[in-house]
């Protein structure tokens, strides 16, 4: 039975999220007492994500009744990408080397092989969980998870069209997607609080990352100033003019592609994800930020451009948390088990490769989220390490869009084979 949440007015919901974020930031800034000890264990970023999830689980607020995630992901996310990439140092990012890309593709491979292995393992204990025939075949539904966990929503929709999974059962797959992906993101956020210990265990060489952070921090100090109202208005002008350009361009490009090329209108096509407006919006906003970094606009980093961008990111984090309903975790234990085993394989492979190549935890976390979370999550995780690293998350997330459909197709084929054993 559906019960309406206590608050459905988005103005009230936004107020609840805002006061939650303010409380978390205030308590995490305390240098002694209970909260100081609490945040030594639980990262503040995780609480920004978990508190809205608790409110959603208690039916105080509801993502299904709110448009805040849409607003945050379509307006605040591109604005934050502009402000956070305003001071980007492309040369320093290039100096990060091959490990960032290698960890991203390791994450992709982990998803591709994780699906069929999970089916084989779960079939030993519960064959009916991975069974089904025709449109009801479980592997067809799991193909939509592969699309979501490698590329994102557009790739997920493409897999649903290609493999024609029973729409009546699709909601169960969406539930597994949300629960497993969000649980994994929570684990990654916890890891960020322990990143120094993890890097020590991995024997990682953090020098390139630290150099990038130092260069951006030094530049920020060199142009630092006390911002006035004019500075804030100009920075918001940059950000939301870019949002407007990104939306206009994304609409035009998407319409042009779907109007002139049949391959982009066919949802069964591997190219259909490139007609996604969200893909173009994120890509164009990032490009505008990069272009501005070559102009005098870069100096607005000293007036707090990345801080404003971070505010937008944290609002996005809170709206992502609203999507998590903790009471549904054990609603479908069979499918949930497949998802958990699948994600564990993805995580295990990332840890193994990171240990072998001595990659920093930053590359593991962002490489994973560029796959599983896409453009909405990868910048959040990257910014949690340092605002100067946000662009790395964005660039890897774009790779996710590029390879998503192809990799998901390969994964689906392997899962079909595995389900017949």
Give the whole-angstrom CA distance, residue 141 versus residue 15. Answer: 37
What DSSP line would sit under 325-357, residue for residue?
A: -GGGTTSSHHHHHHHHHHHHHHHHHHHHHHHHH
The three state secondary structure string of 88-116 is CCHHHHHCCCCHHHHHHHHHHHHHHHHHH
Predicted pLDDT at 301: 86
Predicted pLDDT at 404: 72
Predicted pLDDT at 131: 73
Predicted pLDDT at 25: 92
Predicted pLDDT at 139: 85
Predicted pLDDT at 30: 92
Predicted pLDDT at 157: 66
Name the residue among 351, 243, 344 with its Cα closest to residue 288. Answer: 243
Each domain of the chain, given as residue ranges in start order, spans 72-418
Predicted pLDDT at 334: 80
Backbone φ and ψ for 228, nearest 5 degrees, come out as -115, 180
Q: What is the pLDDT of residues 305-314, one digit of tens each?
A: 888 988 998 8
Intervals of the chain under pLDDT 50: none
What is the reported pTM? 0.73
What DSSP line would sit under 247-315, residue for residue?
A: HHHHHHHHHHHHHH-HHHH-TTSTTGGGG-HHHHHHHHHHHHHHHHTTSGGGGGGGGTHHHHHHHHHHH
Predicted pLDDT at 268: 55
Give the whole-angstrom CA distance, residue 17 versus residue 12. Answer: 9
CB atoms within 10 A of CB 267: 15
């Amino acid at each position: 039975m559906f019960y309406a949440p206590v608050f459905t007015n988005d103005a009230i919901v936004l107020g609840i999220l805002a006061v939650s974020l303010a409380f978390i930031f205030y308590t995490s800034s305390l240098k002694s007492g209970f909260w100081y000890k609490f945040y030594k264990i639980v990262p503040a970023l995780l609480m920004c994500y978990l508190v809205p999830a608790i409110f959603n689980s208690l039916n105080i607020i509801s993502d299904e009744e709110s448009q805040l995630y849409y607003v945050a992901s379509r307006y605040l996310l591109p604005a934050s990408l502009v402000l956070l990439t305003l001071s980007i140092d492309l040369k320093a990012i290039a100096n990060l080397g091959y490990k960032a890309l290698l960890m991203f593709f390791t994450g992709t491979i982990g998803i591709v092989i994780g699906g069929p292995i999970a089916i084989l393992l779960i079939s030993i204990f519960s064959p009916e969980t991975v069974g089904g025939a025709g449109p009801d075949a479980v592997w067809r539904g799991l193909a939509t998870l592969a699309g979501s966990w490698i590329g994102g929503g557009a790739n997920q929709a493409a897999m649903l069209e290609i493999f024609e999974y029973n729409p009546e059962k699709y909601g169960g797959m969406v539930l597994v997607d949300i629960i497993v992906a969000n649980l994994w993101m929570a684990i990654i956020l916890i890891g960020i609080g322990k990143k120094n210990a993890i890097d020590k265990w991995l024997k990682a060489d953090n020098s390139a990352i630290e150099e990038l952070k130092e260069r951006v921090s030094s530049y920020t100090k060199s142009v630092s100033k006390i911002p006035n109202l004019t500075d804030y208005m100009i920075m918001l002008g940059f950000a939301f003019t870019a949002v407007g350009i990104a939306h206009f361009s994304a609409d035009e490009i998407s319409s042009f592609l779907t109007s002139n090329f049949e391959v982009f209108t066919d949802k069964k096509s591997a190219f259909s994800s490139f007609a996604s407006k969200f893909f173009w919006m994120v890509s164009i906003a990032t490009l505008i930020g990069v272009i501005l970094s070559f102009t005098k606009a870069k100096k607005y980093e000293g007036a707090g451009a990345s801080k404003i961008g971070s505010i937008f990111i944290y609002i996005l984090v809170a709206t992502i948390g609203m999507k998590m309903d903790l009471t549904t975790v054990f609603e479908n234990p069979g499918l949930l088990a497949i998802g958990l085993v699948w994600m564990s394989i993805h995580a295990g492979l990332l840890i193994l490769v990171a240990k072998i190549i001595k990659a920093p935890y930053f590359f593991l976390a962002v490489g994973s989220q560029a796959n599983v979370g896409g453009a909405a999550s990868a910048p959040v995780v990257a910014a949690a390490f340092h605002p100067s690293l946000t662009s790395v998350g964005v660039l890897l997330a774009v790779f996710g869009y590029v390879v998503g459909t192809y990799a998901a197709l390969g994964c689906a084929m392997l899962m079909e084979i595995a389900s017949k054993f």
